[in-house]
C-alpha cells in the first residue's frame, strides 16, 4: 500500500473519529458551561442572572451545532465545527470584560478550555494552534474592553504568558496525539493486509490438499485395479470361450430359453471385460508421467466425439466457439473418450431432468500455451456437496446398473496425463460446466 493510499484511508478514518469526539466534546461543553452557574454564584452574585442567561444561550447554540453534526454537511465540516468550543471562550471573555478585567479569575476557564482541546478533543495541530491563539486574542479584547483597561499590567503579562504556555503545551500534545493515531492506523492497515495475504495462502493450501487427495485416491484405485486385472481377466476370458462353445451345442440351439440364458451370460461377461478395460486406465498410470502423444487437431476430435454420441445427443442444441488453430499434443483417442463422456453425461442429466431446451455449448481458447476447453450444459446442474465427488471412482447418481461412476474419474486421469486439470463448476438448477486443458503441439 502506498503512503498516499494509507494517508487517504487514515483521513477518512480520522473524519469518523473526529465526528464522534466532536459530539462528545460538545456535550461536555454544554454540561460545563451550565455548571458554571456555581462559579457565578461564588464570584459574581450580582451578575448571576445575566450570566445564567448567557450560559443557557451558549448551551443552546452548542446543542444546535450537535444537530448539524448529525447531517451530511456536519460530517464534512466536523473538524471546523469542533471550533464551537470557541463559543464558551467568547462567553468567558465577555464575562471577564463585564467584571474585573485582568483581575478576573475567569481567565482560568480560558486556560482549561485550551488544555482540554489538546487532550480531550480530536483537534489537528493547526486547529489547536488557531484555537489557542484565538482564545488569547479574546482575552486581550476582554481586558481592553473592560472599563478599567489593562490594569495591572503585571497581572496581564502573567496571565497572558500562562495562556500562551497552555496554547503551546496543548499544541505539542496534539502533535504527538496525532502521530500516535497515525501509527496505530498504519499498524491496523498492515495487519489487515497481512490477514488478506494469509487468506489467499490458506485458500491455495485447501486447493492443493484437495488435489493431493484426489491423486491419492486415483493411485489407490490404480494399485487395486492392477491386482484385479490380473485375477479377473483370465477367468473372464475362459468363461467367454466356454459360453461361445456352449452356444454352438445342438441342445443350446434347440432350446430358446437356454440360448437366452447364454446370451445374458455372455453380455454379463462382456460388461465385466469393459469394466476391467476401463480400470486399466488407472492401473497403468504412472503418477506425474505425462502423455507421449502425437499432434492432433482438437477440432477434429470434437467432431468425432459428437458423431459418436449422435444418438444420445438427439434434440440437444450443440454450439461451439473455436480458435482457428487447435493443434494440440496428446492421445487423441483418450481425449475423444473424455469428450464423449462429458457429452453423454450432460445429455443424460438433461434428459432425466426434462430440461426444456437442452443445449451444450463448447468453448475453446488458448491461454499460456494450453488449449482450454469448457463444455457447459443448461441441465439440472450438480449439488455443491457432489461437485468435488463427481471425480471419485464409482461415484454416480444414476440408478443401479445404469452407470458405473467411472467415466469422470477416468477422464480426470486422462487429462492429468496431459499435464492438465479437469474440474467442474455448476449452479444447481441452472447449468453444469466441465473444463480441462491440453498442451499445444510445438
Ligand atoms: P456415471 O456417468 O457412470 O454416473 P461419471 O463419473 O461420468 O459416472 O459421472 C458421475 C456423476 O456425475 C453422475 O452420476 C452425475 O451425477 C454427475 N454428473 C456428471 N456430469 C453431469 C452433468 N453434466 N450434469 C449433472 N450431473 C452430472
Mean pLDDT of 377-399: 88
- Distance from the alpha carbon of residue 340 to the mean position of ligand 1, in angstroms: 12
The confidence band for 349, taking pLDDT boundaries of 50, 70 and 90, is very high
Please tell me the predicted confidence (pLDDT) of residue 102. 94
Closest by CA position to 279, among listed 334, 222, 236, 333: 222
- HEC sequence for the chain: CCHHHHHHHHHHHHHHHHHHHHHHHHHHHHHHHHHCHHHHHHHCHHHHHHHHHHHHHHHHHHHHHHHHHCCHHHHHCHHHHHHHHHHHHHHHHHHHHHCCHHHCCCHHHHHHHHHHHHHCCCCCHHHHHHHHHHHHHHHHHHHHHCCCCCCCHHHHHHHHHHHHHHHHHHHHHHHHHHHHHHHHHHHHHHHHHHHHHHHHHHHHHHHHHHHHHHHHHHHHHHHHHHHHHHHHHHHHHHHHHHHHHHHHCHHHHHCHHHHHHHHHHHHHHHHHHHHHHHHHHHHCCCCCCCCCCEEEEHHHHHHHHHHHCCCCCCCCEEEEECCCCCEEEECHHHHHHHHHHHHHHHHHHHHHHCCCCCEEEEEEEEECCEEEEEEEECCCCCCHHHHCHHHCCCCCCCCCCCCCCCHHHHHHHHHHHCCCCCEEEEECCCEEEEEEEEEECC
Cα separations in angstroms, 428 against 61, 379, 381: 61, 9, 5
Q: Are 326 and 399 in contact (CB under 8 A)?
A: no
pLDDT cut 90: percent of the chain above it: 48
Specify the higher pLDDT residue, 288 or 365: 365
Residue of the nearest CA to atom 22 in ligand 1?
Answer: 346
- Distance from the alpha carbon of residue 355 to the mean position of ligand 1, in angstroms: 16
The confidence band for 342, taking pLDDT boundaries of 50, 70 and 90, is very high
Residue range 85-137, pLDDT digits in tens: 788 999 999 999 999 999 999 999 999 988 887 777 767 788 889 999 999 99
- Distance from the alpha carbon of residue 339 to the mean position of ligand 1, in angstroms: 13
Q: Which of 374, 388, 390, 415 to mutate to test the pocket of ligand 1 (most atoms within 8 A of CB)?
A: 390
- Distance from the alpha carbon of residue 327 to the mean position of ligand 1, in angstroms: 28
Residue range 56-93, pLDDT digits in tens: 999 999 898 888 877 877 777 766 776 777 889 999 99
Residue of the nearest CA to atom 17 in ligand 1?
Answer: 390
Residue of the nearest CA to atom 16 in ligand 1?
Answer: 397
What nine digits make up the cell of 197? 495475504
Residue of the nearest CA to atom 19 in ligand 1?
Answer: 345
The b-or-e profile of 122-131 (16+ CB within 10 A means b, else e) is bbbbebbbbb
- Distance from the alpha carbon of residue 399 to the mean position of ligand 1, in angstroms: 12
Ligand 1 atom with the shortest distance to the CA of 350? 24
Please tell me the predicted confidence (pLDDT) of residue 292. 67
Please tell me the predicted confidence (pLDDT) of residue 93. 96
Q: Are 86 and 133 in contact (CB under 8 A)?
A: no
Q: Residues enclosing ligand 1, CB less than 6 A?
A: 341, 345-346, 349, 377, 379-380, 382, 390, 395-398, 403-409, 432
The confidence band for 290, taking pLDDT boundaries of 50, 70 and 90, is low
Ligand 1 atom with the shortest distance to the CA of 377? 23
Q: Which of 354, 396, 404 to mutate to test the pocket of ligand 1 (most atoms within 8 A of CB)?
A: 396
What nine digits make up the cell of 53? 442567561
The C-alpha atoms of residue 369 and residue 441 are separated, in whole angstroms, by: 9
The C-alpha atoms of residue 229 and residue 231 are separated, in whole angstroms, by: 5
- Distance from the alpha carbon of residue 345 to the mean position of ligand 1, in angstroms: 5
Specify the higher pLDDT residue, 258 or 275: 258
- Distance from the alpha carbon of residue 398 to the mean position of ligand 1, in angstroms: 8
pLDDT at 143 over 70: yes
Residue of the nearest CA to atom 1 in ligand 1?
Answer: 405
Specify the higher pLDDT residue, 432 or 289: 432
The confidence band for 227, taking pLDDT boundaries of 50, 70 and 90, is confident
pLDDT at 281 over 60: no
DSSP-assigned beta bridge partners for residue 93: none
Which residues are CB-neighbours of 337 under 8 A, at least 6 positions away? 410, 411, 414
Q: Are 131 and 83 in contact (CB under 8 A)?
A: yes
The C-alpha atoms of residue 91 and residue 7 are separated, in whole angstroms, by: 37
Ligand 1 atom with the shortest distance to the CA of 434? 23
The C-alpha atoms of residue 104 and residue 151 are separated, in whole angstroms, by: 11
Amino acid at each position: 500500500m502506498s503512503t498516499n493510499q494509507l494517508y487517504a484511508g487514515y483521513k477518512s478514518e480520522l473524519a469518523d473519529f473526529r465526528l464522534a469526539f466532536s459530539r462528545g466534546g460538545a456535550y461536555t461543553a454544554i454540561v460545563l458551561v451550565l455548571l458554571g452557574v456555581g462559579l457565578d454564584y461564588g464570584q459574581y452574585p450580582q451578575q448571576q442572572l445575566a450570566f445564567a442567561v448567557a450560559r443557557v444561550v451558549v448551551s443552546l447554540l452548542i446543542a444546535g451545532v450537535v444537530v448539524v453534526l448529525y447531517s451530511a454537511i456536519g460530517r464534512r465540516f466536523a473538524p471546523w465545527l469542533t471550533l464551537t468550543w470557541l463559543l464558551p471562550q467568547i462567553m468567558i471573555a465577555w464575562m471577564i470584560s463585564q467584571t474585573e478585567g485582568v483581575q478576573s479569575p475567569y481567565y482560568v476557564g480560558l486556560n482549561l478550555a485550551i488544555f482540554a482541546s489538546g487532550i480531550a478533543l480530536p483537534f489537528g495541530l493547526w486547529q489547536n494552534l488557531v484555537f489557542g491563539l484565538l482564545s488569547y486574542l479574546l482575552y486581550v479584547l476582554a481586558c481592553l474592553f473592560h472599563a478599567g483597561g489593562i490594569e495591572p499590567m503585571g497581572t496581564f503579562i502573567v496571565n497572558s504568558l500562562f495562556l500562551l504556555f497552555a496554547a503551546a503545551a496543548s499544541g505539542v500534545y496534539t502533535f504527538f496525539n496525532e502521530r500516535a493515531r497515525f501509527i496505530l492506523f498504519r499498524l491496523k492497515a498492515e495487519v489487515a493486509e497481512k490477514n488478506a495475504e494469509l487468506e489467499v495462502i490458506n485458500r491455495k493450501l485447501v486447493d492443493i490438499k484437495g488435489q493431493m487427495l484426489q491423486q491419492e485416491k486415483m493411485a489407490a484405485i490404480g494399485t487395486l485395479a492392477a491386482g484385479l486385472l490380473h485375477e479377473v481377466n483370465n477367468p473372464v476370458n475362459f468363461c467367454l470361450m466356454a459360453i461361445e462353445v456352449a452356444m454352438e451345442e445342438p441342445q443350446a440351439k434347440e432350446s430358446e430359453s437356454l440360448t437366452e440364458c447364454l446370451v445374458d451370460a455372455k453380455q454379463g461377461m462382456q460388461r465385466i471385460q469393459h469394466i476391467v478395460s476401463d480400470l486399466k486406465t488407472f492401473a497403468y498410470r504412472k503418477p506425474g508421467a505425462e502423455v507421449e502423444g502425437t499432434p492432433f487437431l482438437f477440432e477434429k476430435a470434437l467432431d468425432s466425439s459428437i458423431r459418436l454420441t449422435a444418438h444420445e445427443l438427439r434434440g440437444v442444441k450443440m454450439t461451439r466457439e473455436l480458435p482457428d488453430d487447435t493443434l494440440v499434443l496428446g492421445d487423441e483417442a483418450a481425449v475423444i473418450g473424455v469428450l464423449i463422456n462429458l457429452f453423454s453425461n450432460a445429455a443424460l442429466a438433461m434428459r432425466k431432468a426434462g430440461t426444456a431446451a437442452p443445449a451444450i455449448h463448447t468453448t475453446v481458447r488458448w491461454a499460456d500455451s494450453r488449449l482450454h476447453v469448457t463444455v457447459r450444459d443448461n441441465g439440472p446442474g450438480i449439488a455443491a456437496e457432489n461437485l468435488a465427488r463427481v471425480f471419485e471412482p464409482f461415484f454416480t447418481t444414476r440408478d443401479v446398473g445404469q452407470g458405473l461412476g467411472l467415466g469422470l474419474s477416468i477422464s480426470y486421469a486422462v487429462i492429468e496425463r496431459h499435464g492438465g486439470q479437469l474440474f467442474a463448476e455448476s449452479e444447481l438448477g441452472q447449468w453444469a460446466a466441465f473444463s480441462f486443458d491440453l498442451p499445444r503441439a510445438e
